[in-house]
Amino acid sequence: MASHDEKSHAVEQENAPPSTAKDTILAQQAAEAEHALTFAAAIRKYPKAVIWSVLLSTCIIMEGYDIVLMSSFFAQPSFSKRFGDYDPGTDSYQISASWQNGLSNAVSVGTIVGAFANGYFTHKFGYRKVLLASLALIVAFIFISFFAPNLAVLLVGEFLCGIPWGVFATMAPAYASEVCPMALRGYLTVYVNLCWALGQLISAGVQAGFSNNDTEWSYRVPFAIQWAWPVPLFIVLWLAPESPWYYVRREMYPEAERSLARLSSANENHKQTLAMMVHTNDLEQSITSGTSYSDCFRGIDRYRTEIACMAFAAQPFCGSAMGGTPTYFFVQAGLPTSISFQMSVGGLGIASVGTIISWFLMTRFGRRTLYLWGLGLLTLILLLVGFISVGAPDSTAGNYAQASMMLLWLLVYYMTVGPICYAIISEVSSTRLRNKTVCLSRIAYYIAQIICNVVNPYMLNPTAGNWRGKTGFFWGAWAFLFMVWTWFRLPETKDKTYEELDILFARHVKAREFSLYRVDAYAEGEESLMKRK
């Protein structure tokens, strides 16, 4: 019989990283293999990682669906008649700007709560358990919105639904970046945005189908359709593997290796990959050992958090408050309601295509270049919308010209700023603080969205500012300011492993020079960072 001390020693040996896992040579081999891995080879070696990442990201469809749903309801005559007030000036029923703000921001406040909670609970319990709990909650919360008798109850329902949506929105890019190799990292983090666009497209299509329906079912059925996702996703994702990085951070190395085996093909050398992960974790611990929210604002991690938060906050401010949910803008620009819904469907279809195009552009040009040029083009388009509104404020041709420019805005946005942001936030954060940094960046997005949702209705609503297309001047100015920030502060993260990015940030390399350096994470001293000639 083994003694108690022998048993304890055996348990310690099992949970300690094996000598090969800490072997620098194995870790270096894994890093070299990462750089040599092509897209096609990565698909062959990590098919299960791709499948699980895609399935988890599908949860984002629900948030994208609801974002368009609520703003589209404001242009839905039956919804406005049921919950709004009669406006003699337009001879129609309107939801007041204050209630539009309340309903839109209730979701955003809920998502802030969900995103913040996700950063805490995922670190404690892992991705899988938190995801399954959130899917169960969303099924219950949809009942409140579906049966809401008035705007106050609907607001409560939207707030509660926002909590699990905040979890989905922050979990998907973090999980995708942790289960896939570098060759697939950008594609699968950007796929999150495609799910968002698909959710918006489905929502716009449903709304277009009910645009001429004047009964209560024109807005209740769209709410009910939200039940189509959580139950099947819960059943499938019950089988999902936990992120191996979660186990490495908790020093559960045997579990990390088993998770790697579930994510890759059978003939992969999992000990090499585990060694690289342990080496990265040890490197980050030598820079900063903390894993709390406050650690995201200390030392070099403060700059990394700034990048993630600003990259996400730019999305609402570069015009998505006006063009991201275009139905209401089209109506206020002077287009008929039925045509506005149809153009919205077409625009969001363009958005889905734009996200797919971004995969190819991202591989060719990288993150920084695409994000910078995207903001520049969006600035130009928004200013053109404003000038058209000034030059032809009440003409049919002017109205359709503004609508066409906003469709172009959707295409450019979903080719650049919209999807590339997900790759940026997943790559600039350290692995030990990734989940919390992604959560903080999403919270920054939601706060920016609340600000924009407060301002935008007062500019567009005919009972308030009634600026119509001249709103483009306001958002164009903000897009330009974020473009200036991007030039000075956003680094290029393409083709860099996480430990290489750690070294670039730790050495305080300028954002504009990240792509100019060759990094060897296993070299000593100055040789680890060499500027290309």
For residue range 237-252, list pLDDT tens digits in order: 999 999 999 999 888 9
Give the span between the Cα atoms of 518 and 261, in whole angstroms.
Answer: 31
Helix-strand-coil percent breakdown of the chain, rounded to 5? 80, 0, 20
Mean pLDDT of 518-523: 81
> With 80 as the cut, is the pLDDT of residue 66 above it?
no
Mean pLDDT of 17-33: 69
Decide which of 71 and 47 is more confident. Answer: 47
- pLDDT tens for 431-468 read 889 989 999 999 999 899 888 878 877 776 666 666 77
Instruction: Identify the three-state secondary structure at position 298.
Output: coil
pLDDT at res. 266: 65
> With 50 as the cut, is the pLDDT of residue 7 above it?
no
Q: How many C-beta atoms lie closer than 10 Å to residue 391's C-beta?
A: 11
Nearest to 226, CA basis, from 56, 115, 66, 111: 66
**Percentage of residues in the chain with pLDDT exceeding 70?**
88
What is 425-448 written as a DSSP string?
HHHHS-STTHHHHHHHHHHHHHHH
What is 192-257 written as a DSSP string?
HHHHHHHHHHHHHHHHHHTTT--STHHHHHHHHGGGGTHHHHHHHHTTPPPPHHHHHHTT-HHHHH
pLDDT at res. 331: 67
Mean pLDDT of 383-411: 81
- pLDDT tens for 320-370 read 877 655 666 666 666 676 677 777 777 778 888 898 999 999 988 999 999
Mean pLDDT of 464-473: 74
- pLDDT tens for 318-332 read 988 776 556 666 666
**Mean of the per-residue pLDDT values of the chain:** 84
- pLDDT tens for 103-132 read 877 888 899 999 999 998 998 899 999 999
Alpha carbons within 13 angstroms on the beta-carbon side of residue 273 total 24
Nearest to 200, CA basis, from 83, 318, 39, 324: 324
pLDDT at res. 9: 44
pLDDT at res. 6: 46
**Percentage of residues in the chain with pLDDT exceeding 90?**
33
> With 90 as the cut, is the pLDDT of residue 482 above it?
yes
pLDDT at res. 141: 93
pLDDT at res. 416: 95
Sign of CA dihedral 73, 74, 75, 76: positive
Mean pLDDT of 221-243: 90
